[in-house]
Amino acid sequence: MGRLRDKIVLVTGAAGAIGSATADAVVEAGGIAITTDLGGSAGMDHALDVTSQEDWLRVIAEIERSAGRLDGLVNAAGIAAAGSVEDTDLATWRRVMAVNLDGTFLGCKHALPLLKRGGGAIVNLSSVSGLVGGHNLAAYNASKGGVRLLTKSVALHGARFDPKVRCNSVHPAFIEGAMADALIAQTKDPAHARERMSRDIPLGRFGKASEVADLCVYLLSDESAFVTGAEFVLDGGLTAR
Ligand SMILES: NC(=O)c1ccc[n+]([C@@H]2O[C@H](COP(=O)([O-])OP(=O)(O)OC[C@H]3O[C@@H](n4cnc5c(N)ncnc54)[C@H](O)[C@@H]3O)[C@@H](O)[C@H]2O)c1
């Protein structure tokens, strides 16, 4: 308790598995979560399409008016699309890049003026797919690899301010929830695919959104004050071999 006492944290994709678990964990740690997702998502504080610069400017202006500061940002909104480089059409490529990479860029860019005021921390959801390739994840791999290096550039920029703004990336493997379910549903034999994917993970299971959320709390908290530009892999050992 109290690890994020009174810290105000904006979470994108907060109707999803990892975003909602992170918002809950922020509150449990004594912070204030500002939840955002696409319009129409129930229970959110703001509608925010991360690909829309206007939406970012509007939501940040509202936070500035109501709170006057921001202490943390978790860029959790994201989409996955299966497809090799040959199978992926340009519209799908652009959509995945727009949500996963443009959305993270716009979030970092427009939250920084508020984060700089009192110092803060950004957590960007990349993926193991931002570290290693998959034959059928061309657009997703490219977008998450982009998030990994964008994070380092933002970290180096944020390190020049006083107070500091830190920025780190998180790289989960399969996490229980809608995104993994949707990818598995696209395979020829979903039951077999889920079993094989679990077997591929040395720890023998999918991850939980709450486990990603716990890592986000650490990265948002002052416990990680010397941690920036780093990559945190949460994959049950998948990329260890
Ligand atoms: N689930 C996994 O296995 C897994 C693994 C590695 C990385 N990740 C990454 O973690 C993040 C969260 O994944 P999740 O499992 O919670 O997925 P999810 O599908 O449960 O949630 C994603 C959320 O993003 C929202 N979203 C989609 N497009 C948006 C847009 N344009 N603007 C705002 N919100 C938008 C959706 O409405 C949804 O609520 C994503 O970036 C994902 O790529 C997930």
pLDDT digits (tens, 9 = 90+) for 223-232: 999 999 999 9
Answer whether 172's CB lies under 8 Å from 207's CB: yes
Q: State residue 39's pLDDT score.
A: 96
Average pLDDT value over all residues in the chain: 97
Residue 106 and residue 188 in one domain: no
Residue 56 Cβ < 6 Å to ligand 1: no
The verdict on 61 and 26 lying in the same domain is yes
Are 191 and 135 members of one domain?
A: no
- Domain annotation covers residue 234: no
Cis before 163? omega within 30: yes
Give the count of domains, the chain: 2
CA distance 47 to 45: 7
pLDDT confidence of residue 194? 94
Clarify whether residues 90 and 185 are in a common domain. no
Residues 73, 185: one domain?
Answer: no
Sign for the pseudo-dihedral over CA of 177, 132, 101, 211:
positive
Whether residue 129 is found in the same domain as residue 149: yes
Work out the pLDDT band at 43, boundaries 50, 70, 90: very high
Read off φ and ψ for residue 55, nearest 5 degrees: -60, -45
**14 and 131, same domain (yes or no):** yes
**Residue 236, in any domain of the structure:** no
Compute the distance between CA of residue 107 and CA of residue 109 in angstroms, rounded to an integer.
5
**Structural domain range at position 72:** 8-172+207-228
| Ligand 1 mutation target, pool 12, 38, 201, 239, most atoms within 8 A of CB | 38
